[in-house]
Amino acid sequence: MSQIEVDRDGAVLHIALNRPEKKNALTAEMYDALADAVEQSEADAGVRVLLLSGKGEAFTAGNDLVDFLRKPWSGLDRQPPAVRFMFAVANAKKPVVAAVQGLAVGIGVTMLLHCDLVYAAEDARFMAPFVDLGIIPEAGSTVLLPAILGHQRAAEMLMLGSPVAAQRAYEMGLVNAVVPAADLLPVARKAAQNLANKPVVALRVTKQLLRKANHTEVERAMKEEVRLVAERLDSAETREALSAFVEKRKPDFSRF
């Protein structure tokens, strides 16, 4: 069974995270499959809209930290799979719609900042605990999240790592609507189909214009964040934070 399911419905390509037993925690292999799907859809003229979702009780619990610790970013002869996926979504020229239920952690939050429409189930919870894990935010979130939420609310999410419930996420502008869980995919599919039915060039140019104002700054931030994440992953502090989380113990930062 594939952990990334890709399904085509007319002009809508539905990409679903399918590792529900692990709350759709993402491995390097899953990131590569996600990047493949997004990149291939960009090259397919028959695909007009992308729809992202997760199967089971969670959208995604973020990185699979056991896999993350085994496969560091340093020393690779190619772009890390997670980074490849981030840039694929950020640079997508076609509209991207997301359907979020349950937990959306880490990349589960930051990828949404590059989506054009985001729908959340009533049980959705958004968390960005990067600092708690000894790393820093990624995917341009240090630029995009303050732009959406304002500095203080962005700091609450990125520095405190505070969870945000679905209704508050709507009120802050992080999602377009909150719907009952049973209606989540139908609502997101309908929005994706509505986009797919619109004049394709006008739609893509509109997306380009909406993103143009901060495109250069977001791209700069993404590259800087990648460099700093790689540095943090080589640090003793971050290794302690990640190891403590995996081992389900309290981290010891007294020596740092």
CATH number where 102 lies: 3.90.226.10
Q: Does 115 fall in a domain? A: yes
Question: Do residues 141 and 115 make contact, with C-beta atoms less than 8 angstroms apart?
Answer: no
Q: Does 193 fall in a domain? A: no
* Global confidence as pTM: 0.93
Q: What is the pLDDT of residue 77?
A: 66
Q: Does 192 fall in a domain? A: no
Q: Does 188 fall in a domain? A: no
Phi, psi at 10, each rounded to 5°: 65, -120
Torsion of Cα atoms, 127 then 60 then 107 then 256, to 10°: 60
Q: Does 225 fall in a domain? A: yes
Range of the domain at 65: 1-180+199-256
Q: How many domains does the chain have?
A: 1
Q: Does 246 fall in a domain? A: yes
Per-residue H/E/C for 18-70: CCHHHCCCECHHHHHHHHHHHHHHHHCCCCCEEEEEECCCCCECCECHHHHHH
Q: What is the pLDDT of residue 243?
A: 81
Q: What is the pLDDT of residue 233?
A: 82
Q: What is the pLDDT of residue 151?
A: 96
Per-run averaged pLDDT (10 residues), the chain, 256 residues: 92 98 95 96 96 97 84 68 95 97 97 98 97 91 95 96 96 97 98 97 96 92 91 84 82 72
Neighbouring CB atoms inside 10 A of 232's CB total 19
Q: Does 94 fall in a domain? A: yes
Q: Does 187 fall in a domain? A: no
